[in-house]
Amino acid sequence: MITEFRLGNFKAFAETQKIPIKPLTLIFGPNSAGKSSLIHGIALAHHAIKTGELDVYKTSIGGESIDLGGFRQYVHRRNRELTVEWGIELDVAKLTDVEENGRGRGLFSLRERIGFLGGTSGVVSKIGAGTTVWAKIPISQDTRYGENKSAGN
């Protein structure tokens, strides 16, 4: 289960923002606070994980309702020199599932998928504080996905 979503250099967000995710998460705030940017970031993350595509106009989950306009439109301030960042924190107790095809959804599978997207991941454990699994996936104008770029991770 995802416990935190991080998003940086995406639409309204310059600095990486940490958004806690709970079983019931409400997104509310004044106009131009970034509510739509957060939802668009989640839709883009879902689309990228499913298809490997990042220079996206329409996402698979958003259909006609979400038009990101491609990388040049969704990168913060349309600055093509920036790298869009996603990150997630996971509850590792929930990473023991097995998909219908028999493939696990454990840490190895997660690391493999993140590597295909050119990202990095890690696990941090502290006595008394629990375990945090983190993942960071970079996006830039020239990013191409589909090959494992994780350098052995």
pLDDT tens digits, 99-112: 666 655 566 677 78
- pLDDT-derived band at 45, boundaries 50, 70, 90: confident
What is the overall mean pLDDT for the chain?
80
* Cα–chain center distance at 3: 12
Residue-range domain boundaries for the chain: 2-139
Confidence of residue 149 (pLDDT cuts 50, 70, 90): very low
Single pTM value for the model: 0.67
53 or 74, higher pLDDT: 74
Determine the pLDDT at residue 124. 80
Long-range contacts, stretch 10-15, CB < 8 angstroms, 24+ apart: 10/37, 10/40, 10/41, 10/44, 10/74, 10/75, 10/76, 10/84, 10/85, 11/36, 11/37, 11/40, 11/41, 11/74, 11/76, 12/37, 12/76, 13/37, 13/41, 13/76, 14/76, 14/77
Whether 34 contacts 41, CB under 8 Å = no
Confidence of residue 137 (pLDDT cuts 50, 70, 90): confident
pLDDT at 11: 94
Q: What is the residue type of 35?
A: K
Dist CA 9 CA 26 (whole Å) = 23
- pLDDT at residue 152, rounded to an integer: 42
Q: Residue-wise over 25-41: b if at least 16 C-beta within 10 A, else e?
A: eeeeeeeeebeebbebb
Cα distance from N-terminal residue to C-terminal residue, the chain: 22
pLDDT value of residue 119: 82
- Which of 58-62, 100-104, 132-136 is the most confident on average? 58-62
Q: What per-residue confidence (pLDDT) applies to 153?
A: 39
